[in-house]
Amino acid sequence: MATSMATIGLRVPISVRLVPDEDPDGVGGNFVLISGAHRLAAAKKLGWGKIECVVYRDESEDTARLWEIAENLHRAELTATERAENIAEWIAITERLQSGQSAQNESKRPDGRGHRSQSGVRAASRELGIERTEIQCSIKIASLTPEAKALAVSPRLPRHRQHRKRRQWPAKVRLVAEAKP
């Protein structure tokens, strides 16, 4: 990334959130990175003293984390386990935000039925552009113990069978196999 930024500059600014100090005057605060960690690291490597950024002043910690997760999911460097944990965290945050809203959307049907929650697997699939089956599998993977996750990324299959017909494997096995370099 540093090479690219040295050649063509920064095309997409980083995003930060201003977290105010506990100062009663309301002056000051700290900037917390929301997205752009790789861009920021590249700028530091290049010796840049400043970097263009978008500052969000009224973003909650949960909303900022959703931004970060969305950006992480579109990068290729995540392992299958990291991807699953990000998806599961997205759902947990959106469900927490949804439960914190006091007013429920009213149904447009006369019998009062038909309203679907804006959180959960269906909403995550729509908002993140990920298949529901991958999201459901991600929730299961994220709920595994750390020991089980460690075993899952070191498949016991012989090397010659690990890559054969990967597309025919169940989604959970494909995710684990793709985590292996």
| Residue range 106-134: mean pLDDT, rounded | 74
Q: How many residues does the chain have?
A: 181
User: In terms of pLDDT, which residue wins out, 57 or 15?
Assistant: 15
pLDDT score for 110? 67
Mean pLDDT, residues 7-12: 92
Give the whole-number percent of the chain exceeding pLDDT 90: 32
| 80-113 as b/e: b if 16+ CB within 10 A | bbebbbbbbbbbebbbeeeeeeeeeeeeeeeeee
Quick one: average pLDDT of 48-68? 90
pLDDT confidence of residue 107: 53
Q: Is the pLDDT of residue 79 over 70?
A: yes
Q: What is the CA radius of gyration of the chain?
A: 21
Better-scored residue on pLDDT, 60 or 168:
60
Mean predicted confidence (pLDDT) in 118-135: 85
Q: With 90 as the cut, is the pLDDT of residue 101 above it?
A: no
- Position 147 scores a pLDDT of 85
Helix (H) or strand (E) holding 15: strand 14-20
Q: What is the DSSP letter of 168?
A: G
pLDDT of residue 168: 47
pTM exceeds cut of 0.85: no
The pLDDT value given to residue 103 = 47
- The pLDDT mean for the chain works out to 78
- How high is the pLDDT of residue 159? 46
